């Protein structure tokens, strides 16, 4: 069965809701999927816009509800 580095890292990481998530993100962006950094940057920018407009990231319609559970 073929497997790649991204699949292995995903299995090891299991979820972004963990203390060392940014360490995983750095490895992924620097060595595995460089374009992933642009995706994370865009998502971060979108959340900042919601907050600046007086909202809360949890109010935004998104499938990433884990952001709300951490008090973001």
Q: What is the pTM of this model?
A: 0.51
Backbone angles phi, psi at 39, to 5 degrees: -65, -45
Q: How far is CA 55 from the centre of its chain?
A: 20
Q: What pLDDT sits at residue 59? A: 52
Give the ranges where 1-72 is alpha helix by DSSP (H): 5-13, 21-27, 36-52, 66-69
Other CB atoms within a 10 A radius of the CB of residue 28 amount to 19
Number of separate domains in the chain: 1
Residues 13 and 5 sit within 8 Å (Cβ to Cβ)? no
Domain span including residue 35:
5-69
pLDDT digits (tens, 9 = 90+) for 12-66: 888 888 898 888 888 888 888 888 888 778 777 777 777 777 766 565 455 554 5
Which residues are CB-neighbours of 59 under 8 A, at least 6 positions away? 50
């Amino acid at each position: 069965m073929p497997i790649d580095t991204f699949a292995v890292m995903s299995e090891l990481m299991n979820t972004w809701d963990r203390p060392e998530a940014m360490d995983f993100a750095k490895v992924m962006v620097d060595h595995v999927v460089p374009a992933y950094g642009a995706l994370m940057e865009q998502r971060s920018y979108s959340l900042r816009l919601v907050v600046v407009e007086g909202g809360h990231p949890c109010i935004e319609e998104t499938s990433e509800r884990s952001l709300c559970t951490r008090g973001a």
